[in-house]
Structure 1
């Protein structure tokens, strides 16, 4: 089995980084894998001490397989992550990506590498996600992974052959708006995705992931998700820049050892799981109503949706 290099992105959360690293370094295959740690620079003087402390933690592990890249200026999560992925994929043909709040299971690396190996040559599969949201999986579904039109950015991997399609072209919004069929493909992944793209282009949020999600859809790609999550996000405690306190995404990570994975015989998404995933991403009835209204009357109700969607 080929071992993909690991890219870990950290900023100023020492405790989150410590927990993530403690689990990662005990994963089978870690010591044989290359680790790249990207440390973003402080955004302001008040972050200097926490940034410095986090970097000291990274160096304290004295790992022989690590390359540490420390930015002097603050790139922000989106630019830091995209630049780091590009850096690694210039050297390697695949990658596993973690942020400082993505706590991995003990078989995370094994799961990711088996999937990256299995679908290496299949252009339809563009992403492997380690996190799986707490959705209902049918009792008669006997496989260990499922195919999704939506990827998760918490502990994921891809190949150079797929990442070449990553683009931040704002013109993609006009392409979606001009095609009913493309719009349906985007909405199939969750009604929130179109709104996120629009807000990203308008500068209301800072997300690299929304572009990757849209790029996968635009190229008729699929993501792999585990039935049992290999990642627990520990950043929904109000400490992160992009994650507020929220327990909706809490999961129990896999405790079983992974030696083999039961893959579906055909690359066909299960419509029951697709709907369950989409409903979870869209949110409750109030949010669904807001997203539907936003798609139709966005410029008139944007200020209200931005406020009310946070309440519900």
Structure 2
């Protein structure tokens, strides 16, 4: 495989091993590995981080392994964003996987072909593995275009990532000009994303980096490529998860996967699928950052209910 793969790991060796095996089957010639350091207040985490990093030493195919390991814990937002800055300073394009996102084998070829096809098309910012249409076929082609850039298995170019800003400096002006309305139209969606972006803007180095990526793509009017079948399964729910560590009923976690067929059938147009995006907004993004924070508050304070 010619396209570099970027692998983001931390302290979950069992999950990391499963994704590593998928990468091993793809046999990339270049592998970038981003790892955060252990938290000083978590007993035994240093050992878990070392155990997880040791998996990377098992590369047994012809591959240049390039590591960016933090000695101290930077947190999810800083570690992922700074790590991807480092990757895109070294290469023009890459496929990106986190330690809890197991890809279907066909995702690699899917990404590689589309990275080449849209390499110089600035209308496209990202290629996603995730499809959250739950079996609904939105197109007769192999993929459709969306405003949502799902990050559970994705690929992109330096030309797109250069617009990323962890601190979202443009948010104040976007708020003042009410630009989210121009992007989203639907008032409920506007209110939901306004809460999300405001929460991230107020704490940009918190636990998330991907909402800032969505914001950057929207500010450039960019589209994402979504496969017509789901090519990724997130297995990250559990006590050791950063975002989904309670028994939240997110139906898009642990989704089944399906092979995408080759040769790919490319759309003859670049127009986003509004029907698919409306469905995505109503299913995935109804679970806003506020909802997640409320779940965490309920767990920490042992509340039986949290008033919405």
Instruction: Give the Cα–Cα distance (whole angstroms) in 2 for the partners of residues 193 and 174 of structure 1.
Output: 14
1:35 maps to 2:31: yes
Aligned to 2:8: 9
Matched residues in 2 for 1:230 and 1:310: separation?
Answer: 35
**TM-score after normalising by structure 2:** 0.84
Secondary structure in 1 aligned to 2:54?
helix
Aligned length: 292
Aligned-pair CA distance for 1:311:
8.1
- Residue 284 of structure 2 aligns to a residue whose secondary structure is helix
Task: State the SS of the aligned residue for 1:26.
Answer: helix
CA distance in 2, matches of 1:142, 1:310: 43
Residues 82 and 282 (structure 1 numbering): CA distance in 2 closer, same or farther, change over 3 Å? closer
- In the alignment, which residue of structure 1 is the partner of 2:258? 254
Q: Residue 242 of structure 1 aligns to a residue in which SS?
A: coil
Would you say 1:233 and 2:234 are equivalent positions?
Answer: yes
The 5 A counterparts of 1:97-246 are: 97-135=96-134, 137-138=136-137, 141-186=139-184, 190-191=189-190, 192-203=192-203, 205-244=206-245, 245-246=247-248
Instruction: State the shift of 1:83 in Å.
Output: 1.6
Q: How big is the alpha-carbon RMSD for the aligned residues of Structure 1 and Structure 2?
A: 3.0
Q: What is the distance in 1 between the residues matched to 2:73 and 2:196?
A: 23
Distance, in Å, in 1 between the alignment partners of 2:132 and 2:126 is: 16
- 1:174 Cα shift? 1.6
Q: Give distance in 1, aligned partners of 2:148 and 2:280.
A: 8
Change (3 A) 1:166 1:160: same
1:187 shift after superposition = 6.2
Contact 2:6 2:96 in 1 (8 A): yes
Instruction: Decide whether the 8 Å contact of 1:7 with 1:84 is kept in 2.
Output: no
Unaligned runs of 5+ in 2: none
Q: Deviations over 1:217-239 (max 9, x none)?
A: 11111111111111110102343
The residue aligned with 1:297 is none
Instruction: Give CA-to-partner distance per residue, 1:15-68, whole Å, 9 cap, x none.
Output: 0000111122113xx24x311112211012511121111112221334541223
Alpha-carbon distance in 1 for matches of 2:226, 2:237: 21
User: Could you tell me whether the CA contact under 8 Å between 1:5 and 1:94 is conserved in 2?
Assistant: yes
1:266 is aligned to 269
Structure 1 residue 135, shift from structure 2 partner: 4.1
Give SS of 2:150's match. Answer: coil
Cα 1:270/1:183, change in 2 over 3 Å: same
| CA–CA separation in structure 2 for the residues paired with 1:232 and 1:109 | 14
Structure 1, unaligned stretches of length 5 or more? 292-301
Aligned counterparts of 2:151 and 2:128: Cα–Cα separation in 1: 7
C-alpha distance after superposition, 1:199-229 (max 9, x if no partner): 1122284211111101111111111111111
